[in-house]
Amino acid sequence: GVPVPTRRSAAREGRRGPRCEGGAGGWTGGSHQSGEVTSRAPCARADPPSRGSCAKRPRSLRGAGLRMTSALNAVSGCDGFICCIGCLSLVPGLVRRVVNQVAFFPPRPPGYHVTEEKQVFLVEADYGLTPLPDLTSEGIAVDTVRMWTRRGNVILGFHFRRADSTKTLLFSHGNSTDIGIMFHHLRDLCTKLQVDVFAYEYSGYGESSGVPSEADLYSDVEAAYHYLTHDCSVPDDQIVCYGQSIGSVPSIDLASRTSVGGLVLHSAMKSGLGVIHDVKTTYWFDVFQNAARIRRVSAPVFVIHGTHDTEIPFEHGLTLYEACPREMAYDPWWVKEAGHNDIEINHRAMYFEHLARFLKALDAHERNWRKNSENDNENENEQGSENGWQPLLGGAASHNPTYNYEPMNHY
């Protein structure tokens, strides 16, 4: 039932000279090999462990013993950088604490300001304050929303709403920016694609409370998803996650654990370690494990990446595309000579054209999906489906607590 593409090889042209700005788009296959998580040390030998090596150890010590063995194996004859990270990871929480200190760059000052009277202003380049634009003449209503995350932070969001919209982009922005700086681009997405857009703020960014961390990225996007599905009653199959740069991390995580209508990855990373070092797999001590998690996504995925990206190299986009489940991989857009932050600027017309094409393809994909799964869904319940997802909220997913949110406040 799902259309089968004929240009799978085009997606791999990045290895021989990438294709750009062409083609009508389509569903393509993907390899299941890229992005697998390995619990083995980077250069550990493939020899099987001696029988009974952990047989008499207490269960509580076996995990630590195996990790120590992996680290010791990694020290012998492997990449020194990877070995150091692997050994440091034996100190509980150390790697993530370091990552949280160096991976996030909230803009200072923020791109917007909320007064005590709950008035919202955008901060201009000269640090002057401009009232939040009134877009009603363009058929757009903008709500400023305050949300409480399960980690105790208060985050904000801008909700761009159209009367004629049937889809909502759940927008996760990149680093060194915030929803105030992105305001005009978000408006253009809403106008040109004729969709609702909800852009939420990360903890520690903009006017949100807390300190940014990987764990907070996940709780932030969960709060945004909860707002859309519960407070706004948006059907989950009408939500399209859009993750740019570091925003790919919460977007992939959410799409891998709950039901969404689609996923757009713009200049996305395969993993945190992969950004600073050339790695071919996802190690157990890595952070931002996108390439591993994307294999569990049960929604169509559209990858956009510049071939000349020096911050997150093109190979990251290719790895993510190849790691997608075969039936969910949409024909990617490899943008010739584009960098990390200029695709939507220097290729603006093609940017909106490709996004519009993907959103249109989602409608056809959903019709085929429903038609082919009518007989398969009779016994499906809220505990999940054969595609591997479980509801994010309500405590159904075993690795998530029950979420308790206060009512959302609208300014």
Q: Where are the domains of the chain?
A: 8-36+103-373
Per-residue tokens: 190 = 């809403």
99-108, 122-131, 176-185, 230-239 — which is least confidently predicted? 99-108
- Supply the mean pLDDT for the chain: 76
Angle between helices 80-88 and 94-102 (to 10 degrees): 110
How far apart CA 244 and CA 251 sit, in angstroms, is: 9
In which band, very low, low, confident or very high, does the pLDDT at 126 lie, cut at 50, 70 and 90?
A: confident
Closest to 271 (Cα-Cα) out of 282, 285, 255, 259: 282
Q: What is the secondary structure of 224-240 as a DSSP string? A: HHHIIIIIS---GGGEE
Q: For a pLDDT cut of 90, what percent of the chain falls above it?
A: 56
Beta strands in 52-128 (DSSP E): 112-114, 120-123
How far apart CA 369 and CA 168 sit, in angstroms, is: 19
How far apart CA 157 and CA 300 sit, in angstroms, is: 25
Determine the average pLDDT of the residues in 201-229.
Answer: 97
- Answer yes or no: is pLDDT of 142 > 60: yes
Classify the C-alpha dihedral 250-392-232-119 as positive or negative: negative
User: CA triplet 243, 246, 252: central angle to 5 degrees?
Assistant: 50
In which band, very low, low, confident or very high, does the pLDDT at 378 lie, cut at 50, 70 and 90?
A: very low
Give residue 65's pLDDT.
53
How far apart CA 82 and CA 285 sit, in angstroms, is: 10
Helix (H), strand (E) at residue 289: none
244 and 266 Cβ atoms separated by less than 8 Å: yes
Determine the average pLDDT of the residues in 227-253.
Answer: 97
What's the CATH number for 8-36+103-373?
3.40.50.1820
Three-state secondary structure string covering 344-387:
HHHCHHHHHHHHHHHHHHHHHHHHHHHHHHCCCCCCCECCECCC
Give residue 55's pLDDT.
45
Determine the average pLDDT of the residues in 345-354.
Answer: 98
In which band, very low, low, confident or very high, does the pLDDT at 22 lie, cut at 50, 70 and 90?
A: very low
Q: Which residue has the higher pLDDT, 94 or 239?
A: 239
Q: Which residue has the higher pLDDT, 83 or 130?
A: 130
How far apart CA 385 and CA 376 sit, in angstroms, is: 10
How far apart CA 291 and CA 340 sit, in angstroms, is: 19
Per-residue tokens: 199 = 């852009």
Classify the C-alpha dihedral 171-175-178-183 as positive or negative: negative
In which band, very low, low, confident or very high, does the pLDDT at 205 lie, cut at 50, 70 and 90?
A: very high
How far apart CA 367 and CA 362 sit, in angstroms, is: 9
Give residue 364's pLDDT.
82
How far apart CA 307 and CA 170 sit, in angstroms, is: 26
Determine the average pLDDT of the residues in 293-304.
Answer: 96
- Answer yes or no: is pLDDT of 277 > 70: no
Determine the average pLDDT of the residues in 156-181.
Answer: 97
80-94, 112-126, 292-306, 346-360 — which is least confidently predicted? 80-94
In which band, very low, low, confident or very high, does the pLDDT at 289 lie, cut at 50, 70 and 90?
A: confident
63-72, 92-101, 208-217, 332-341 — which is least confidently predicted? 63-72
Report which DSSP code applies to 178.
-
102-111, 202-211, 254-263, 317-326 — which is least confidently predicted? 102-111
Give residue 103's pLDDT.
80
In which band, very low, low, confident or very high, does the pLDDT at 323 lie, cut at 50, 70 and 90?
A: very high
Give residue 403's pLDDT.
37
SS3 call for 257? helix
Give residue 93's pLDDT.
63
In sequence order, which residues have a C-beta less than 8 Å from that of residue 21 and are 6 or more positions away? 333, 335, 336, 347, 350
Three-state secondary structure string covering 393-404:
CCCCCCCCCCCC
Cross-strand partners of 38:
283
Residues carrying an active site annotation: 245, 309, 340
